[in-house]
Structure 1
Amino acid sequence: MTKILYILDKKTKIKNPRIFRGTPAVFEGREHKNKKMTMHHNDFNDADKSHKIDSLRDMILNAEKTIQSAKAMLLQLEGKKKTGRKRKIDADAGDGEIIEGTFDGQIMLGTNGKQYPVPANYASKSKLVEGDMLKLTITPDGSFVYKQIGPIERRHMIGIVSQDEKGNYYIFSEGKPYKVLLASITYFKAQPGDEVAILTPREIDSSWAAIENVLQKGAIAGPRSVTAQAVDKEIETWKKELESPEPEEVPREDETPQDKPSASAVVDEWTSDIADLEKEIKAQNPSF
């Protein structure tokens, strides 16, 4: 039996006839073998293709994690605020570690006994006070996502912004100084002497306060100007007391005029001392 097969030439793209001689059984055997090889080759291609797809997906996932970690490190080094859409903590809960704790005015004290830093900007904008319950989610890329889950009962108060010699800010309210975050001062653009509304925990004797709003700018003079005015007033009082006439004393019989200094000499001496003292104070404190 003669059978003609057309074989495609890969170079010319032309089907060339080939004549094969043999029995029908031979041709059937060859065709069956070719079909079996083709099916095995297709199965191998499908398995290899699936393996390659899985490998590529793993490579892309690892690359994305690496890029996210690099971006987070870059933002921390540059001191910039992380941008982007807010993460849904509940959605990411399965992919990250969740820790609950209590805010102490600056940091979160976790139920596991560890301390976790709370961004000052977040604490200021959220007006967190000592005793608030927080939930921290640490995402796979190392980011910290906080959420307030149990706000403590608050007490509303009014106080005055003050600043000490070291530049630390305080809020004086009801005779007590409360510490305040610098980010809160910056966020509300508060200055020493401003009257502000603050929040403190009702049931806890806290040393921290959260600024709620600025009520009046420059309500009172700052501490430095008040001190300077007090010093100037004290010096003027001394001068007036020395300049005021004193009653003359009757000399004793055994005392001569040479033994007792004149009143004008005493006044001149004290006035000179006060002038020197005033110069010294102003030299040490130019603001006076």
Structure 2
Amino acid sequence: MTTQAPALAPAAVSRPRTARRARRLPAPALVSAVVLAAVAALTLLAPLISPYGPLEGDLAARLQPIGSPGHLLGTDGQGRDVLTRLLHGARPSLLAGLLPVVFAAAVGIVLGLVAALGHPRVHTLVMRSLDVLYAFPAVLLAIAIAAALGSGISNAIIALAVILVPPVARVTESEAMRIKSADFMAAAQVSGAGRVSIALRQVLPNVAPGVVVYATALVGLSIVYAAGLSYLGLGVSPPTAEWGVMVSEMQQYLFTAPSLLLVPAVAILVVSVAFNVLGDGLRDFFNVRTDAS
């Protein structure tokens, strides 16, 4: 599966993109925002509200089904409370989803602006270099980088950041190239503004909405990738609570206690879908059009 960057274009290029008529997020996006806010709150409050310790187990109470007394979501193969591990596992799962996108956005925006506003040879060099990364499927490349660096959440974040830089850079470059022909860009150049000033004061504010929309959707994908790396033993290592680790540990009980396997899997699904729906809502809010390629 290769991460593809859709061509994003503003519905109408104008200097003051902040001067818009009042808009509201679509209802599905608002619901997603509420879900994500609730997940974030539960993650922060996990040490206070979780009924047990994330590593606290009772072999006499192992594999308790969902709804068991004292264990709302049951227990795993070592008698650890699944709800507790789900709450504590949200933090590394969300960090492994958010941080790679933040790092990739920071690097991708710079590369995209340099490619779009620099010399044509610079544009060719930057974009062709990014194409080298596109030659490899994103998942396989992330696995290869994580395997080379070793297991651990830090290395997983680095691996995911590397594979997410090219699509963010392409979105930025595509937006900036469209904006280059706008009247306010010509006026800025005539006024004697330097390239750095034009990039920061004219281009970046117009590029930002499209990048934010795309990056929001990438968070959901990054969470799935991070869980996959942990599942393969290349991300967070057991016994640390993390959703991918929980899926890996529960798979051996697929036929004896299948409902327990669904708990972390559903958590990954809900959060990743929520980020995608929120990204769609932000696309409508910022009036950014996605062109099918």
Higher RCO (CA < 8 A, seq sep 6+): 2
Q: TM-score, normalised to structure 2's length?
A: 0.17
TM-score (norm 1): 0.17
- Rg larger for: 1
**Higher helix fraction: Structure 1 or Structure 2?**
2
